[in-house]
């Protein structure tokens, strides 16, 4: 019986996947977002091929305006802004996706365990989740990066920890709703490894909402990473990141507008694309808009 | 209802205690302490040790925490390392600034969001609605701190129209000066919020407008404006209230980056500086305040939800 | 600075793109209403932006810019050099054996109205000699044996050994007058108690510090302003914007990249400042290898750093000795100039590990400076990994001797090159966090020789020894001076900064 149910769930998921793309494609802006995001990912992956210069080479004069050889000019240390912006996608995407993934990896099991075991385990983990939710992400990240230092991995940890609550709540709600369903109870009765069943069933049920939440969290993480960089606590130099470029550019907004405008634009476009992809996913998997609980202004 | 409230308050206290321990553990994990900061960059080892002793930082961490708890129980939140003022006094000076900025930002956001959301919901195909969609898309994508930088450059530095830095002036005493000194940061926080709220409002309003009861009301010959305001809005307000509450909660928690960029003397900047200076008691007090605000607002949103929609059982 | 009256409120608000606020905010762009914290030099009142001011104990700082407004020191130096100007001390005589100085105090009053007496100096010296409470005065005072009050306004200070006149004068320049009953770290933490040109009105550690004219100030006719307000900024760029938009009349401690955009509209004043020094930790690998340190010292491109990070402002230094000091020997700038070929050759001979981690402080420009150094080190085959650190964490690890290498500031050595061993923990003879117990004995001897050289020939010899041992030791490699910069509205004159970077505000006025 358990295997039967599992199989049917799987079939449902597969047929869902078939309609998924057609539903997604119904939103034009979602398609635009997906294409945009793809371009950004390509920029990040193929940066060495696309960037005209080494992003850390201090070769040209500093603060040059846009020209034929440097399309967007150079920064305060004479590095090519375009190349840095292209490479900057790496920092934003790795921190964005990494922290979203970490949030999911920690949050989903927490939610499942809390929902499944209930009682005090549930109470304790949900209070922990409330706590994380109540402390502003930037403050949390500020303290964490001050303790363990600012590096790409540490930023992922800092922002990922702050992203736990959304995933935990999602997973807990889903677990609660299926905990007492027949096949789970039955598999428990048959001595099957219940946590394993739980995880699989919950994940299958949650695939859609988690995907949506992943994209939302990633876009938020991109902004938080950039915000921390503006405060000088982002990815360490000379690795380019958009937030870091914005921070460097703050002193030159007057003399060299392209320096400060372009990284900001890159950020906005990335956030836009992620937002649209999130929207498309939401439509495609039929999830009510999540993400209302995120702190957007940092 | 009262059992529900009791349980919520109980949870609330648990989170508060957890928060106080977590914050304390985290600030003590930070490398360096207030003695390092106060003794300054030219200090030598013995000087830092002397400052440490003067500040009571040479006691074991647990003892320091218990001393703080002892004070907190009697309502004394401790003492800043950097001023003769108590933490409660320091917070009492910063909180009004943050509240004023949050309320102003929220009002501004609502002022922008309600017309936009309504218009998009009622006339989704109009040219204006499309333009407004553009605003929503841009507003959601542009990071608030980038917007802040652009505002500073265009409206303050280049044109001298408004002060580039924010400051807190009591609105009830000097309304004009208060607005002047907080309008730019308020815009910077309002734009993003307005887009989120407008989007929610538009979605729920257009959904409500298609429900049966609206058709019934319309059939009765009620004027369209009345249909929207009296009937549709009331129902659409429900999800929007949640969003507004959460947004307000996050603004009341202080906006670290925005306050830093505008040098606005709010809670976010206070916490940011205090973390940097290892001013343990101030960080502790400030974070607890943020946590309390967040929890209280969550509770209020739930209660308001119940009030607006009596069908919801507070179970 | 001019306002732009031509631009109407309406057009501005519309240009904000938020028409909705126009209705709610009439008259926003109007001039500061009452209660308005705006700057705007109102004749005898100025608002100056600065970084946060944290305390009022003159013993605890040798860099806090506000401190000279509250306290008088025994003497001042005239701007730009080391010509002595009587201040708290009216006159002084150094004993012919260079083993004492007799000081006559000026008849003046503390802010609380009490007359300054010799006993206050005696108590002050006692505190300076107390290693637990003397702070930055402990090391500069170590030559002092005791202070005795001769009469109400005369005090005699005896030394342990004969010291150079410059050392005595530098000490008098650094010695503040504080009432005996208030002279402790705890008493002065939140409240100043001096006899300087201004007294404290209001202090909000997070926002502002307000000072008012001290009517009883001994220098008659000064200060010229009635009130000065310091507004605190965490963020340099916010401060510059505040200056540009007229929120403040002046901005202290500007960053170097601000100068280009400010110099056309504002007066940019330079103070002597401090020095940027590249420190290598001789107490741990790979920098415990002196030949490696010497090799890397040749790969630091001072010209490029000054040009790109300091925007051409500042002079190259080869060691933590300030140009203008008698001990500064500029020939080292050529003999030990930036030379990647030489550095590569030396590095090859030095052997050892070719990688290290450089801590990057949050100081403005520290990151760029380190990136330039990283880039050049890479060219000679030495991998530097940068580790940005939050300000307090950086200081903590620096003082704990945990940093492999970093760029940090070193205060002005004033007249006496021997003061290089004063203050900061990276260069003293004992408890040296960079060299641990490997501080070269020749360095300790040379510092002592500088401090005790009482005639010109002995000084020349001692200074030469000191220079050589610092350059050969190569754990503290000079980069450049780091001037302190201030931007002021054009109407403001009389701004001055002393050799420690303390603001001299008593002559400040507006036109």
- The residue extents of the domains of chain B are 2-74, 88-276
Residue to substitute from C241, C387, C406, C421, interface B, most B β-carbons within 10 A: C241
Query: What is the 8-class DSSP label of residue C274?
Result: E
Residue C472 has pLDDT above 90, yes or no: yes
More confident residue, A6 or B307: B307
At residue C33 the predicted structure's pLDDT band, cuts being 50, 70 and 90, is very low
What number is the average pLDDT over the span A190-206? 70
Chain A partners of B260 at a C-beta cutoff of 8 Å?
231
What number is the average pLDDT over the span C217-232? 92
More confident residue, C64 or A88: A88
Chains B, C: CB pairs < 8 Å: 220
At residue A11 the predicted structure's pLDDT band, cuts being 50, 70 and 90, is low
Q: Which chains does chain A touch, 3 or more C-beta pairs < 8 A? A: B, C
Tell me phi and psi for residue C370, to 5 degrees.
-65, -35
Chain C partners of A250 at a C-beta cutoff of 8 Å?
237
At residue A134 the predicted structure's pLDDT band, cuts being 50, 70 and 90, is confident
And the tokens for C248?
């403040």
Residue C35 has pLDDT above 90, yes or no: no
Q: In this predicted structure, what is the pLDDT of residue C37?
A: 52
Closest approach of chain B CAs to the CA of A139, in angstroms?
7
What number is the average pLDDT over the span C485-489? 93
CB A73 within 8 A of CB A259: yes
Residue to substitute from C243, C311, C368, C406, interface A, most A β-carbons within 10 A: C368
CB A295 within 8 A of CB A136: yes
The span from the CA of C75 to the CA of C93, in Å, is 13
**Average pLDDT value for chain B:** 84
Residue A70 has pLDDT above 90, yes or no: no
Closest approach of chain C CAs to the CA of B211, in angstroms?
31
Residue C177 has pLDDT above 90, yes or no: yes
Residue C17 has pLDDT above 50, yes or no: no
Residues 188-247 of A with CB under 8 A from B: 223, 226-227, 230-231, 246
Closest approach of chain B CAs to the CA of A286, in angstroms?
15
In order, the DSSP letters of A89-126 are HHHHHHHHHHHHHHHHHHHHHHHHHHHHH-HHHHHHHH
More confident residue, C258 or C25: C258
Chain B partners of C185 at a C-beta cutoff of 8 Å?
50-51, 54
In order, the DSSP letters of C451-463 are HH--SHHHHHHHH
Q: In this predicted structure, what is the pLDDT of residue A37?
A: 94
| A230/B256 Cβ within 8 A | no
What number is the average pLDDT over the span A35-48? 92
Among B153, B192, B239, beta carbon nearest to A253: B153
Q: Is CATH 3.40.50.300 the classification given to domain B88-276?
A: no
C397 half-sphere exposure, CB direction, 13 A CA radius:
24
Handedness of CA C368, C372, C374, C378 (dihedral sign): positive
Task: Give the CATH number of domain A23-52+69-296.
Answer: 1.10.3720.10
Q: Please tell me if residue A252 touches chain B, with a CB cutoff of 8 Å.
A: no
The span from the CA of A29 to the CA of A282, in Å, is 13
Residue C169 has pLDDT above 90, yes or no: yes
Of A6-15, C50-59, C181-190, C462-471, the range with the lowest mean pLDDT is: A6-15
pTM of the model: 0.81
The span from the CA of B192 to the CA of B140, in Å, is 6
At residue C332 the predicted structure's pLDDT band, cuts being 50, 70 and 90, is very high
CB A268 within 8 A of CB B142: yes
Q: Please tell me if residue A149 touches chain C, with a CB cutoff of 8 Å.
A: yes
Q: In this predicted structure, what is the pLDDT of residue B310?
A: 59
The span from the CA of B170 to the CA of B162, in Å, is 18
| A138/B200 Cβ within 8 A | no
Closest approach of chain C CAs to the CA of A83, in angstroms?
17
Instruction: Please list the ranges in chain B whose pLDDT falls under 50.
Output: 313-315
Nearest to C362 by CA among C393, C331, C332, C340: C393
Of A246-250, A293-297, B112-116, the range with the lowest mean pLDDT is: A293-297
Chain A partners of C368 at a C-beta cutoff of 8 Å?
76-77
Which residues have C-beta within 8 Å of that of residue B63, sequence separation ≥ 6? none
Per-residue pLDDT reduced to its tens digit, B109-147: 999 999 999 999 888 888 999 899 889 989 989 999 999
Could you tell me the residue ranges of all domains in chain A?
23-52+69-296
Residue to substitute from A56, A58, A61, A241, interface C, most C β-carbons within 10 A: A58
């Amino acid at each position: 019986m358990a295997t039967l149910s599992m199989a049917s769930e799987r079939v449902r998921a597969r047929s869902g996947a078939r309609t998924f793309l057609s539903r997604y494609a119904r939103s034009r802006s979602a398609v635009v977002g997906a294409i945009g995001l793809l371009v950004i990912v390509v920029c990040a992956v193929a940066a060495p091929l696309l960037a005209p210069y080494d992003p850390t080479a201090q070769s040209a004069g500093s603060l040059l305006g846009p020209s034929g050889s440097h399309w967007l000019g150079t920064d305060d240390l004479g590095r090519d802004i375009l190349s840095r912006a292209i490479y900057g996608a790496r920092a934003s995407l790795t921190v964005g996706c990494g922290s979203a993934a970490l949030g999911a990896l920690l949050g989903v099991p927490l939610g499942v365990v809390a929902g499944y075991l209930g009682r005090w385990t549930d109470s304790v983990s949900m209070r922990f989740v409330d706590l994380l939710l109540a402390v502003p992400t930037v403050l949390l990240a500020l303290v964490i990066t001050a303790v363990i230092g600012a590096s790409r991995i540490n930023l992922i940890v800092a922002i990922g920890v702050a992203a736990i609550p959304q995933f935990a709540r999602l997973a807990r709600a889903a677990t609660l709703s299926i905990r007492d369903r027949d096949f789970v109870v039955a598999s428990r009765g048959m001595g099957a490894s219940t946590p394993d069943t739980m995880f699989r069933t919950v994940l299958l049920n949650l695939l859609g909402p988690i995907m949506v939440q992943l994209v939302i969290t990633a876009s938020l993480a991109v902004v938080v990473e950039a915000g921390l960089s503006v405060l000088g606590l982002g990815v360490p130099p000379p690795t380019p990141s958009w937030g870091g470029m914005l921070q460097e550019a703050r002193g030159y907004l007057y003399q060299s507008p392209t320096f400060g405008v372009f990284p900001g634009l890159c950020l906005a476009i990335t956030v836009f694309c992620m937002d649209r992809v999130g929207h498309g996913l939401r439509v495609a998997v039929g999830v009510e808009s999540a993400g209302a609980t995120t702190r957007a202004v940092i | 209802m009262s059992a529900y409230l009791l349980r919520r308050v109980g949870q609330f206290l648990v989170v508060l205690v957890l928060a106080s321990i977590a914050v304390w553990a985290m600030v003590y994990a930070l490398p360096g302490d207030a003695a390092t900061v106060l003794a300054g960059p030219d200090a030598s080892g013995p000087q830092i040790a002397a400052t440490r002793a003067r500040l009571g930082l040479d006691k074991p961490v647990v003892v320091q925490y218990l001393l703080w708890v002892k004070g907190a129980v009697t309502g004394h939140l401790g003492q800043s390392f950097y001023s003769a003022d108590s933490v409660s006094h320091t917070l009492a000076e910063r909180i009004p600034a943050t509240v004023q900025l949050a309320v102003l930002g929220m009002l501004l956001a609502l002022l922008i969001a309600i017309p936009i959301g309504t218009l998009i919901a009622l006339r989704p195909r109009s040219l204006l609605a499309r333009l407004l969609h553009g605003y929503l898309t841009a507003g959601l994508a542009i990071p608030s701190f980038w917007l802040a930088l652009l505002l500073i450059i265009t409206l303050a530095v280049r044109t001298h129209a408004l002060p580039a830095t924010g400051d807190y002036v009591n609105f009830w005493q000097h309304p004009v000066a208060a607005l002047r000194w907080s309008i730019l940061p308020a815009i910077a926080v309002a734009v993003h919020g307005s887009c989120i709220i407008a989007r929610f409002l538009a979605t729920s309003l257009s959904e409500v407008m298609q429900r049966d009861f609206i058709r019934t009301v319309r059939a009765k010959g009620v004027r369209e404006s009345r249909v929207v305001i009296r009937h549709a809005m009331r129902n659409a307000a429900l999800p929007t209230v949640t969003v507004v509450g959460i947004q307000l909660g996050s603004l009341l928690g202080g906006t670290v980056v925005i306050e830093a960029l505008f040098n606005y003397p709010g809670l976010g900047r206070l916490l940011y500086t205090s973390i940097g200076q290892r001013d343990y008691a101030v960080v502790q007090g400030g974070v607890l305040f943020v946590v309390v605000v967040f929890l209280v607002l969550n509770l209020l949103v739930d209660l308001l939800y119940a009030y607006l929609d009596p069908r919801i059982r507070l179970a | 600075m001019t306002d732009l009256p031509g631009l109407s409120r309406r057009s501005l608000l519309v240009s904000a793109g938020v028409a909705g606020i126009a209705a709610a905010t009439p008259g926003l762009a109007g001039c500061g209403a009452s209660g308005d914290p705006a700057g705007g030099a109102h004749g005898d009142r100025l608002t100056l932006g600065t970084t946060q001011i944290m305390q009022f104990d003159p013993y605890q700082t040798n860099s806090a810019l506000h401190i000279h407004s509250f306290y008088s020191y025994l003497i001042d130096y005239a701007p730009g050099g080391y010509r002595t100007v009587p201040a708290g001390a009216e006159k002084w005589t150094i004993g012919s054996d260079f083993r004492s100085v007799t000081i006559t105090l000026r008849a003046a009053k503390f802010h609380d109205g009490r007359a300054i007496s010799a006993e206050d100096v005696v108590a002050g010296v006692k505190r300076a000699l107390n290693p637990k409470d003397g702070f930055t005065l402990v090391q500069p005072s170590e030559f002092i044996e005791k202070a005795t009050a001769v009469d109400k306004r005369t005090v005699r200070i005896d030394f342990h050994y004969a010291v150079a006149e410059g050392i005595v004068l530098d000490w008098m320049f650094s010695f503040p007058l504080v009432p005996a009953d208030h002279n402790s770290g705890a008493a002065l933490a939140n409240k100043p108690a001096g006899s300087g040109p201004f007294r404290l009105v209001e202090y909000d550690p997070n926002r502002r510090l307000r000072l008012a004219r001290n009517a009883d100030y001994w220098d008659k006719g000064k200060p010229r302003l009635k009130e000065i307000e310091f507004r605190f900024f965490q963020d340099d760029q916010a401060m510059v914007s505040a200056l540009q938009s007229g929120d403040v009349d002046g901005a202290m401690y500007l960053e170097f990249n601000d100068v280009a955009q400010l110099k056309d509209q504002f007066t940019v004043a330079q103070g002597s400042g401090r020095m940027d020094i590249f420190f290598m930790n001789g107490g741990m690998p790979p920098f415990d290898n002196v030949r490696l340190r010497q090799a890397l010292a040749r790969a630091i491109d001072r010209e490029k750093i000054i040009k790109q990070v300091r925007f051409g402002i500042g002079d190259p230094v080869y060691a933590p000795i300030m140009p203008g000091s008698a001990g500064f020997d500029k020939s080292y700038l050529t003999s030990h100039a930036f030379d990647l070929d030489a550095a590569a050759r030396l590095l090859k001979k030095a052997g050892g590990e070719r990688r290290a981690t450089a801590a990057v402080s949050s100081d403005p420009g520290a990151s760029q400076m380190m990136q330039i150094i990283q880039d050049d080190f890479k060219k000679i085959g030495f991998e530097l990994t940068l580790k940005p650190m939050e300000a307090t964490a950086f200081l903590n690890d620096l003082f704990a001797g945990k940093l492999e290498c970093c760029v940090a500031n070193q205060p002005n050595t004033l007249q006496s090159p021997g003061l290089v061993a004063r203050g900061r923990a990276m260069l003293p003879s004992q408890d040296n966090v960079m060299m641990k117990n490997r501080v070269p004995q020749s360095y300790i001897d040379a510092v002592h020789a500088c401090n005790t050289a009482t005639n010109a020939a002995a000084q020349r010899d001692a200074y030469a020894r000191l220079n050589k041992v610092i350059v050969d030791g190569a754990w503290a490699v000079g980069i450049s001076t780091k001037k302190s910069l201030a931007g002021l509205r054009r109407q403001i004159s009389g701004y001055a900064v002393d050799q420690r970077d303390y603001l001299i505000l008593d002559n400040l006025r507006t036109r």
